[in-house]
Structure 1
Amino acid sequence: MNIRTHAHTKQQSGQEADAIAIPIAENDQFAYALSSNEAWAGYKNHQNPTFFPKLAAGQSPSILWLGCSDSRVPETTLLGLQPGDVFVHRNIANVISPTDINSSAVIEYAVAHLKVSHIVLCGHTCCGGAAAALGDSRVGGVLDTWLTPLKAIRRDHAEELAAIKDAGDRAIRLAELNVEKGVQNLLANYVVEEHIRTRNIKVHGVVYDIASGKIRDLRVGNASAMPGAGKEMAAPSKMEVLQGNHGVLIFKEGGSAMTVG
């Protein structure tokens, strides 16, 4: 494994601070990820020295995000938010079923204890789980069992789905139907139901378009009548991570930037 050492340079009031050497891995992705974390933590601490101490003191997220495990759909990044803003549960094909104790525990904790104001169930385009559920062959292992709810949705909407000739569009439609079913299950959850009644929390069903980076509100759930529902939304990014030349990382937030390189 080749490791290159770059200087982590901090600028403040027009003066250059001491450089911190950070190893950048050329071949080992995990080592590179650790290096990137070191750079990111240093950048955040430089921008706001109280950021991490405040996070350590506790969390009060306003959003519960229920999404897919797909590596291309990282909720905090695509929403342009920060650590501490979103409580998260992700699984294959963002399945929300009343029989799944894992997601049920997350929902109960987020709603009853963290007092989130919004529940967002997010499907996405290019979903491998949706594509697999549309196929007739077995995936193998526990995945076939896990995808049973999607296959049930496929059966319930067989005529509609069969009328869609393009396989990609058919998978997107199944992903939408899966979100709609998940939202129905959320609204029937006794904890969610109670907090809709007592705190007016909002349940949203959305689909993330991987090709554009935008979120589309499906106008399902109890928040479907809210202003702006049904429109595509591209959240303003609070921080950009740019890949410069020779493995240099550039962190940019607002009008300021810091280079690792």
Structure 2
Amino acid sequence: MQIDKNHVEKREKSYDDILVANKAWAKSMTDKDKDYFKRLALGQSPDYLWIGCSDSRVPAAGVSQTDPGELFVHRNIANQIITNDSNLMSVIKYAVDYLKVKHIVVCGHYGCGGVIAAMEKNNDEYLGDWLSSIKDAYKKYKAEIEAIDNEKGRINRMCEINVERQIEKLASTSIVQHAWDKGQELQLHGWIFEIETGLINPLTDILSNPNQ
């Protein structure tokens, strides 16, 4: 495979730019508040756990306009709740049981590549398995999806369905159920982000145990 030298040089420059930008940002923060990072280093007590997509265009802090310390964050492809994923479940466990977050947000986005791959029955190693639950959802809702007369609309509706299903799965996890059983304040929110406008569209909320 031939390597594009200009592309490599551009990437290396971008790497340097990130480090330069980091120094400038750190200086700007301490110029405004000399003790900013000292306080930040003392610990965290966020009210929100953000479970989002790994897509590089949907940064949690940028989308929500929150500061360091306000969001506890987990991201994966297509913002899924998969209970046999120990990475995800340990994040939820820590956020709910130790940080005592009051809100868990599952934030998807329109045009999600993971959702599109599931709709196209992607069977790549790892990725195909990871998307299996979205493939199942697509089969279940196929009649509704195919009734939409344009491809973009079909994809975006499937992205919404995916978020709604993840909230349902999150609500049924033992971690969330135990928190509600103890009377812990915990609300679940399903949001979807529209990259074309930069706006969040709230889809669904579960404010208390639906089984009670």
Fold-level match, TM-score > 0.5? Answer: yes
Amino acid at match of 2:49: L
Query: In 2, are the aligned partners of 1:45 and 1:52 still within 8 Å (CA)?
Result: yes
The answer as to 2:100 corresponding to 1:115 is yes
In 1, Cα distance between equivalents of 2:67 and 2:193? 19
The answer as to 2:177 corresponding to 1:193 is yes
Taking only aligned residues, the RMSD between alpha carbons, in angstroms, comes to 1.6
In 2, Cα distance between equivalents of 1:188 and 1:45? 43
Query: In 2, are the aligned partners of 1:129 and 1:147 still within 8 Å (CA)?
Result: yes
Query: In 1, are the aligned partners of 2:164 and 2:204 still within 8 Å (CA)?
Result: no
**SS at structure 2 position matched to 1:219:** strand
2:76 to 91, 97, 100: 91
In 2, Cα distance between equivalents of 1:47 and 1:194? 42
In 2, Cα distance between equivalents of 1:128 and 1:107? 24
1:154 to 138, 142, 148: 138
Unaligned runs of 5+ in 2: 1-9
Query: In 2, are the aligned partners of 1:196 and 1:202 still within 8 Å (CA)?
Result: no
Q: 2:150: which partner in 1?
A: 166
Deviations 1:196-225 (A, max 9, x none): 3412211000101111111111123227xx
Higher Rg of the two aligned structures: 1
Query: In 2, are the aligned partners of 1:63 and 1:118 still within 8 Å (CA)?
Result: yes
In 2, Cα distance between equivalents of 1:152 and 1:99? 17
Show structure 1 runs of 4+ deviating over 3 A: none
Q: 1:140: which partner in 2?
A: 124
What is the TM-score when the length of structure 2 is the normalising length?
0.88
What is the TM-score when the length of structure 1 is the normalising length?
0.72
The answer as to 2:190 corresponding to 1:209 is no
Deviations 1:81-121 (A, max 9, x none): 11111000000010112222211110010000011110000
Amino acid at match of 1:217: P
Greater CA drift, 212-221 or 25-34 = 25-34
Amino acid at match of 1:127: C
2:165 to 165, 178, 181: 181
Q: 2:35: which partner in 1?
A: 50
- Which structure has the highest strand share of the two? 1
Unaligned runs of 5+ in 1: 1-24, 224-261
Q: How many residues align?
A: 198
